[in-house]
């Protein structure tokens, strides 16, 4: 539709109105880009709704949710494109960079993309955990890093939400939810690490090198004086670090519950509250299994867990370009000719009467065909046919999509009575400016255009020549001091050897008196 009817050089007079999804402020523009970006934004929002409504208790439902959230992010980047499909949003972000709607500003779209990818990463974690987590050292440490990755992404999302100008219009419960999930998944990461260290002591049957490698990849920093091998081999060290992890998990769960209680909207989500309480209680139970009277004297701090994932959520570009669609306006003809970039005349009817089977012109081109080599004395030319005209119909047959061979097949059996064809002409949207005369001075030869010398007929016929004396071009710039600025000389050396580079650029006369010619 844009290519057919919306010219890049002129307004169409059609207004598009949309409402900002965060502020509710209406936006009205004579710009089809606003319409396209808004439709993409809504596509992303729909993908996000599909993701939230998927059954995340099954592998198929989780895969559907993951795909929907990733597609939504692409749409949001396309506007920076939708509420829940990062792929669409990313497309919006890259292609609609000047949309004056707040919800499609680069900062807001970037935040929405993060939100979609965070939810997709959370679904990937749930997909890994759904079949069950093997109660082994390496499996528990792997899940600890997966949970840390989800926490990290939600923390990045929260940081983007609290930045100006995003924080002024993002719903409070969005920001609160991102904080809750940051603390919840961080606590889960510490719980898994604690379980790996407390429940699994290194035995002779274990692969010591493999466990040491796993532990060294979980931490980027260990308490001073401790090494991964010391923690694995020494039971007291292993328990000390494990208890530190479980204490940190309990603190994180308590913080998640505290933030949850601050938001009235989240208080309505009873299922979320039950999950937070159950996770907190699980960590408390793990801690009670390893209670020690000397625990209060232990100030060991659990090291941070390096976030890592084997299944990173990425923007998934929807296959919209692969969808086969039908051009609603195909009957108008090929887009290469019948587009908003060009202007053409209304169809004209030309009557063809061949003489000795000669139509008086030839055809070229693909679709539609063009008239070339037109005989100016033929009947078609007398009836108004011009070179470069496009033939759009022969008789009652539309031939906008026909090639030369097809059109010639329609014309070859035309009888003496002739046949009517319809043609159009492309209008020149930028007509050439009339050629002006010019003279250059400054020790350069004087040159004139044909307009300057177009007095030959009058000069040859003195009787028809007017008596009014016209000033010569050379004297015009010299005698009229007011118009002396109309002569521009190339810089030449003066007596002091300097060049007048610092002189202002002269102006040219704008009076209509000198429309036919000008001195430069």
Q: What are the tens digits of pLDDT across the range 221-257?
A: 877 667 777 777 788 888 888 899 999 999 999 999 9
| pLDDT tens digits along 38-77 | 888 888 889 888 988 889 889 999 999 888 888 887 666 6
State the DSSP H helix or E strand holding residue 427, giving kind and residue range, or none if neither: strand 426-427
Please tell me the distance from the alpha carbon of residue 119 to that of residue 154, in angstroms, as a whole number: 9
Give the closest residue to 59 by CA, choosing from 127, 138, 143, 129: 127
E strands present in 79-154: none
Find out whether the peptide bond into 78 is cis, omega within 30 degrees of 0. no
Average pLDDT over residues 82-107: 62
Rounded to 5 degrees, φ, ψ at 172 are -60, -40
Please tell me the distance from the alpha carbon of residue 55 to that of residue 268, in angstroms, as a whole number: 20
What integer best gives the mean pLDDT of the chain? 76
Q: Residue 498 above 60 pLDDT?
A: no
Percentage of the chain exceeding pLDDT 70: 73
Length of the chain: 520
E strands present in 376-520: 390-394, 397-398, 419-424, 426-427
CATH annotation of 1-132: 1.25.40.280
Whether 357 contacts 370, CB under 8 Å:
no
Percentage of the chain exceeding pLDDT 90: 18
Whether 393 contacts 411, CB under 8 Å:
no
Whether 76 contacts 92, CB under 8 Å:
yes
pLDDT tier, 90 (very low <50, low <70, confident <90, very high otherwise) = low
Please tell me the distance from the alpha carbon of residue 286 to that of residue 282, in angstroms, as a whole number: 6
Q: What does DSSP assign to residue 482?
A: G
- 213-222, 270-279, 292-301, 336-345: the lowest-pLDDT one: 292-301
Torsion over CA of 32, 37, 41 and 44, rounded to 10 degrees?
A: 110
Whether 87 contacts 275, CB under 8 Å:
no
Q: Residue 278 above 70 pLDDT?
A: yes
Domain ranges of the chain: 1-132, 168-318, 342-427
Please tell me the distance from the alpha carbon of residue 29 to that of residue 27, in angstroms, as a whole number: 7
- 91-105, 194-208, 325-339: the lowest-pLDDT one: 91-105
Buried b (16+ CB within 10 A) or exposed e, 413-450: ebeeebbebbbbbeeeeeeeeeeebbbebeeeeeeeee
Buried b (16+ CB within 10 A) or exposed e, 198-228: bebebeeeeeeeebbebbeebbeebeeebeb
Q: Residue 301 above 90 pLDDT?
A: no
pTM beyond 0.85: the answer is no
Please tell me the distance from the alpha carbon of residue 298 to that of residue 475, in angstroms, as a whole number: 105
Q: Return the top range by mean pLDDT from 39-43, 125-129, 382-386.
A: 125-129
Q: Residue 95 above 80 pLDDT?
A: no
Token pair listed for 124: 């990937």
Q: Residue 92 above 90 pLDDT?
A: no
E strands present in 332-425: 343-344, 348-352, 362-364, 370-372, 390-394, 397-398, 419-424
Give 342-427's CATH code, choosing from 3.50.30.30, 2.30.42.10, 3.30.160.250, 3.30.565.10.
2.30.42.10
Give the closest residue to 342 by CA, choosing from 333, 352, 355: 333
């Amino acid at each position: 539709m844009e290519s057919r009817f919306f010219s890049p050089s002129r307004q169409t007079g059609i207004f598009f109105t949309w409402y900002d999804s965060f502020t509710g402020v209406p936006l009205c523009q004579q710009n089809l880009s606003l319409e396209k970006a808004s439709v993409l934004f809504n596509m992303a929002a729909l993908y996000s709704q599909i993701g939230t409504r998927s059954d995340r208790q099954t592998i198929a439902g989780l895969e559907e949710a993951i795909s929907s959230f990733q597609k939504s992010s692409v749409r949001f980047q396309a506007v920076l494109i939708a509420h829940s499909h990062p792929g669409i949003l990313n497309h919006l972000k890259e292609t609609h960079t000047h949309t004056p709607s707040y919800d499609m500003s680069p900062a807001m779209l970037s935040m929405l993309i993060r939100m979609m990818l965070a939810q997709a990463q959370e679904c990937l974690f749930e997909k890994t955990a759904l079949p069950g987590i093997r109660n082994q050292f390496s499996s528990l440490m792997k899940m600890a890093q997966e949970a840390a990755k989800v926490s990290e992404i939600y923390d990045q999302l929260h940081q983007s939400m609290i930045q100006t100008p995003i924080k002024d219009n993002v719903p409070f419960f969005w920001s609160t939810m991102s904080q809750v999930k940051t603390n919840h998944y961080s606590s889960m990461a510490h719980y898994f690490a604690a379980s790996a260290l407390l429940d699994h002591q290194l035995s002779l049957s274990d692969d010591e090198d493999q466990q040491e490698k796993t532990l060294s990849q979980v931490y980027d920093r260990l308490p001073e004086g401790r090494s991964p091998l010391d923690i694995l081999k020494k039971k007291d060290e292993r328990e000390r670090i494990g208890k530190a992890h479980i204490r940190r998990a309990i603190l994180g769960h308590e913080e998640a519950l505290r933030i949850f209680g601050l938001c009235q909207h989240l208080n309505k989500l009873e299922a979320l509250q039950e999950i937070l309480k159950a996770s907190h209680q699980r960590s408390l139970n793990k801690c009670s299994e390893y209670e020690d009277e000397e625990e209060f004297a232990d100030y060991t701090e659990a090291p941070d867990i390096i976030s890592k994932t084997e299944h990173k959520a990425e923007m998934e570009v929807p296959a919209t370009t692969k969808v086969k669609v039908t051009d609603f306006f195909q009957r108008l003809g090929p887009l290469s000719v019948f587009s908003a970039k060009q202007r053409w005349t209304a169809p004209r009817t030309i009557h063809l009467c061949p003489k000795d089977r000669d139509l008086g012109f030839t055809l070229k081109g693909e679709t539609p065909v063009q008239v070339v080599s037109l005989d100016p004395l033929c009947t078609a030319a007398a009836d108004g046919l011009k070179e470069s005209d496009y033939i759009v119909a022969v008789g009652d047959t539309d031939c906008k999509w026909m090639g030369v061979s097809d059109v010639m097949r329609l014309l070859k059996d035309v009888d003496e009575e002739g046949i009517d064809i319809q043609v159009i002409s492309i209008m020149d949207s930028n007509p050439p400016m009339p050629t002006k005369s010019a003279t250059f001075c400054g020790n350069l030869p004087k040159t004139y255009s044909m307009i300057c010398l177009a007095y030959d007929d009058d000069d040859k016929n003195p009787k028809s020549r007017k008596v009014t004396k016209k000033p010569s071009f050379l004297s015009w710039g010299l005698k009229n001091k007011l118009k002396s600025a109309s002569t521009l000389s190339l810089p030449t050396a003066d007596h002091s050897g300097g060049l007048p580079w610092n002189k202002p650029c002269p102006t040219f006369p704008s009076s209509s008196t000198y429309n036919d010619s000008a001195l430069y």
